[in-house]
A and B are shown apart, each in its own frame.
Chain A
Amino acid sequence: MDLGLIVYALNLGAIYALMAVGISILWSSVGIINMSHGATFAVSGYAAWLVTGAVKPLVAATFGKTVLASTLMAGTLVASALITGALCGVIIYLLAFLPIHDKPNFQVRALIITLGLNIASVQGLLWMFGPRNRGLPKIFGFGRWEVWGTKIRFDQAGTIVGAAVIMGLTLAWLRYSRRGLEVRAMMQNAEGAAYSGISRQVTALPVLMLTGALAGMAAALLSQTIFVSPTAGVIPLVKGLTIALLGGLGSVPGALIGALLVGFLEAIVGAIPYLGQRYVLFATFLFIIAVLIIRPRGIGGLLDDTRE
């Protein structure tokens, strides 16, 4: 295995981790399987495309082609994607959580509503912007580094570092902040958390905004490698869901390990000449199904068992 392959695997794993951890946190704390995570992804990508398109001439006029200008563009792109993702989270909160969180069949109904949101927003994007792919400005620039004889593209390195930073920030927030403590309490035992005075309604909003922002971040980072299109969210959604499942829904470390495993698996399967890129999805799903049949609660279940 050479270094390029590892970097590629880490790149995939970083994106998957952003999606899967969001889905996992949301499921275990609030109890929503968020099927509109893919829609959040696509909408944030489009919002970033619109905002950067509007800001680009302005920045170019004021700063020219300096380092400051490109930093500013990168900041705008990431910020717009993050903010749009968080706003999508607010919409999900208003539609799929607030009206029904104390009604019967909450989990299935929330799943259905988020599914409806997903369909509606994908079709809405298709209707407004058409099926064409849109390229976002490359915030990490074009180019490669030479590390021990292998070339690493800037966008790959940037994605890995960016995802790691965001994941670190999220985990730190969960670990050290008051709100994070509440979220973790809800993840462990929602009922017990409610008894000790943690309001579900109040805590769900930041969780939904956070997971939305994670999807937005994933969109901003993935758009460095591929284009943005209305249906761009489907594959990340399916991958994110299955990886969250592989990690044992609700376990953050499980989701992280699962994302890395799947990233490496895909990179390796893609690199084997006989199989090639066409069988990547196939192999991933087979792997996940095999793991789930052997360990029905995924990697997280494995971790819990060893802890006990």
Chain B
Amino acid sequence: MTQIRYHKVGRRSWEWRLKPTGVEERNRARLPGSKRHWLKWRDVHNPKTLKRERILVDKKPLWWTLGLSALVAVTPFLPNSMISVVSIFCIYAAINVLWTLIVGTAGIFSLATLAIVGAAGYVAAAANVYLGVPWPFMLLIGPLAGLIFGAILAAPSTRLDGLYYALLTMGVAEICRVFVTQLRALTQSGGAITNVDSFIPKDWFLQRPGLLLGFAGAFLLLLGALLVWRLVNSERLGMLLRVAKTSREDEAFAEAIGIDFRRARLMVFVISSAALGVVGAFYAMYFRSISPQIFSLDQLLLLFAMMVIGGLGRAEGAVLGAAVVTLIDKGLIELGPPRIILVAVIMIVVTIFAREGLTGIREQFRDFRKRKSGERRALRTEKGGEAMPEEATEIHDKQELYYRRFNKRLRDRLKKLISPELIEEHRLDPLGHHSDALARVLNHFRRAEMADKYVIHRMVPSEERFRVMAVSGQRGMPPRVVDDREYTEIREAYHAVFLLRVNDLLES
């Protein structure tokens, strides 16, 4: 006896499912201080065996935890130069996540992110160096400066269209750079503020413990940025903005149901500006200095490249893109200028081929596969109403599948019976005794559904004039006339209906 090989169809078998016994109670731990659960578990059942199953609907938290804990676990064993690369990655990733908040959640295409970071960094560093404020207060002064600067920048964003605003903010960055380099007090250092006090003790600076401490700080910064992102996106502000996200119509809809999305956007902008201020103060502390380099167009473009490579408007994209670009830019520093070319080439290739960066590839591939399988399904002309395996997994009522399959096979068999002799037999005697083949065909026709069933209509009650109509199958909807031919004999009309049905059968 040969073993039949079954092919796995659908995506059930690939998904990881828990199989709870139902004896112990479900653990429904919540995030302290909120109504949220830690993970998005959903209870489902196997439609075939009806057994309980539990699936994790949102697997992103797992990936985040894995990635970030791998970063923490690996970094202490890296050489010194790589530790600073990882720290810089964390800082850039934090900036990018906050920038994503502005571009993605608020939908404001701003290029002034680094300008905010730089301005806040300068204010905090100046307060430390010239006013003697101790370093912990820099982390308060930074966000305050960022908040004020962000509020000033955000004001025109409601008046200007997307790209206009982007170019305007680019101008703001340029103004900041020129302004700082023109400052009289900073001319001898080329516009930089040096000797900033830091959370890294002075004699540890650029030593291994100092680097590790710097990494710890940068990692906390990244976690903080992700927390801000999560809080804004999952709370009221993010929900309001999701209504008015994609198009003009959505904006109009949001306005109509009373959502002041402009105000919500400004709020997000200001919040992330304040957070960027923290990053600015941290930046000044981490490098113990801050220079006009931070306002330069190159730096801005590099950060933009990170977001674009990862995927514009997604937090995971911002972090992944930062990882890729920082690794190339700082890790392969001995390559010289070609490494920037490499970044640019990656950016171009990703943009041409991927709709939403590296993190969107999975979704894009799924869409592509779905489209292709749909095309293939449409190509299979032999299908004849029978459900294909891909489609069958989506149909809940399995009875329907077997009904379709039975019908298809029946039609195939009947099609073989149709021959000129059979048609001739019907023409000669539409009603009388029929051969076996004709009787089978006619029986199939009689069982057809009401919708579009053909009927004969006597046009005037007293006259022998007939025509063929098709009933609608719906109550109250009159039958439609099939063609304009008239028959003077009822037998002719019978045969005409038969021919129409044979035609339909052969075409199906």
Q: Mark A residues whose CB is within 8 Å of B.
A: 33, 95, 99-100, 103-105, 107-109, 111-113, 115-120, 123-124, 126-127, 234, 238, 241-242, 245, 249, 278-279, 281-282, 285-286, 288-289, 292-293, 296
Bound CA span A285–B355, Å = 34
* CB pair B168 A119 closer than 8 Å: no
Closest to B297 in A: A234
Type the 1/0 row for B340-367, where 1 means its CB is closer than 8 Å to any CB of A: 1101110110011001000000000000
Closest to B302 in A: A119
CB-CB < 8 A to A103: which residues of B?
355
Interface residues of B, CB < 8 Å — how many? 36
Type the 1/0 row for B132-163, where 1 means its CB is closer than 8 Å to any CB of A: 00000000000000000000000010011101
Instruction: Flag whether B450 is at the interface (Cβ < 8 A).
Output: no
Contact of A123 among B164, B170, B340, B352 (CB under 8 A): B340
* CB pair A286 B355 closer than 8 Å: no
- B-side interface mostly: helix
Contact of B308 among A112, A120, A293 (CB under 8 A): A112
A105-B355, A293-B156 known; A286 vs B175 contact (CB < 8 Å) = yes
Contact of A116 among B174, B178, B344 (CB under 8 A): B344
Closest to B177 in A: A281
Closest to B156 in A: A293
A-B contacts at CB below 8 angstroms, number: 107
Contact of B171 among A249, A279, A288 (CB under 8 A): A288
Instruction: Flag whether B172 is at the interface (Cβ < 8 A).
Output: yes
Q: Mark B residues whose CB is within 8 Å of A.
A: 156, 159-161, 163-164, 167-168, 170-172, 174-175, 178-179, 182, 297-298, 301, 304-305, 308, 312, 336-338, 340-341, 343-345, 347-348, 351-352, 355
- Shortest CB–CB separation between residue A234 and chain B, in angstroms? 6
Bound CA span A165–B351, Å = 38
CB-CB < 8 A to A234: which residues of B?
297
CB-CB < 8 A to A285: which residues of B?
171-172, 174-175
* CB pair A123 B344 closer than 8 Å: yes
CB-CB < 8 A to B297: which residues of A?
234, 238
Closest to A244 in B: B167
* CB pair A238 B351 closer than 8 Å: no
Contact of B159 among A33, A100, A296 (CB under 8 A): A296
* CB pair B167 A113 closer than 8 Å: no
- Shortest CB–CB separation between residue A285 and chain B, in angstroms? 4
Bound CA span A95–B171, Å = 27
- A-side interface mostly: helix
Bound CA span A245–B160, Å = 11
A238-B170, A282-B179 known; A120 vs B345 contact (CB < 8 Å) = yes
Contact of B341 among A109, A127, A288 (CB under 8 A): A127
- Shortest CB–CB separation between residue A194 and chain B, in angstroms? 21
* CB pair A282 B178 closer than 8 Å: yes
CB-CB < 8 A to B348: which residues of A?
95, 113, 116-117, 120
* CB pair B341 A242 closer than 8 Å: no
4 more A-B residue pairs beyond the given contacts A282-B182, A296-B164, with a C-beta to C-beta distance below 8 A: A103-B355, A111-B163, A112-B308, A296-B160
* CB pair B182 A278 closer than 8 Å: yes
A112-B308, A238-B297, A285-B171 known; A119 vs B164 contact (CB < 8 Å) = no
CB-CB < 8 A to B337: which residues of A?
123-124, 126-127
Most buried by A among B160, B164, B172, B344: B344
Bound CA span A119–B325, Å = 14
CB-CB < 8 A to B301: which residues of A?
115, 118-119
Closest to A109 in B: B351
- Shortest CB–CB separation between residue A179 and chain B, in angstroms? 26
* CB pair B160 A292 closer than 8 Å: yes
* CB pair B341 A123 closer than 8 Å: yes
* CB pair B164 A249 closer than 8 Å: yes
* CB pair A112 B347 closer than 8 Å: yes
CB-CB < 8 A to B347: which residues of A?
112-113, 115-116, 119
24 A-B residue pairings within 8 Å (CB atoms): A103-B355, A109-B351, A112-B304, A113-B348, A113-B351, A115-B305, A116-B351, A119-B344, A120-B340, A120-B344, A123-B341, A126-B337, A127-B336, A238-B170, A238-B171, A241-B167, A245-B168, A249-B163, A249-B164, A279-B178, A282-B175, A285-B171, A286-B175, A292-B164
